[in-house]
Amino acid sequence: MKKQPSQITIYERAGKYYADVQGCFGGGYSGAFAGSTPEEAALFLLREEGRYIKNNPKGGNVYAPPEVQEAIRVWV
């Protein structure tokens, strides 16, 4: 089986943040709680990015709401 780019999607539902993650071989999970605030979701995203995207030679894509992206920009 060939490796594919990984994907992490953070989304907001009912004021909380959740994540769908797909790994390089198609595995992953869906609907995981990522936090109650944009900052918590950003930390979740950065941790999962290290596990799923940075360790994948094909890289990957990250999708997140603007407020979560802004929280990451503040730290990085």
Q: Is residue 13 part of a domain?
A: yes
- The string of DSSP codes covering the chain is -----EEEEEEEETTEEEEEEE-TTS-EEEEEEEESSHHHHHHHHHHHIIIIITT-TT-EEEE--HHHHHHHHHH-
Q: Is residue 55 part of a domain?
A: yes
Domain of residue 50, residue span: 6-75
33-64 confidence digits (pLDDT tens): 999 999 999 999 999 999 999 988 899 999 99
Q: Is residue 1 part of a domain?
A: no
Q: In total, how many domains does the chain have?
A: 1
Q: Is residue 18 part of a domain?
A: yes
Q: Is residue 65 part of a domain?
A: yes
Supply the pLDDT for residue 36.
97
pLDDT of residue 75 exceeding 80, the answer is no
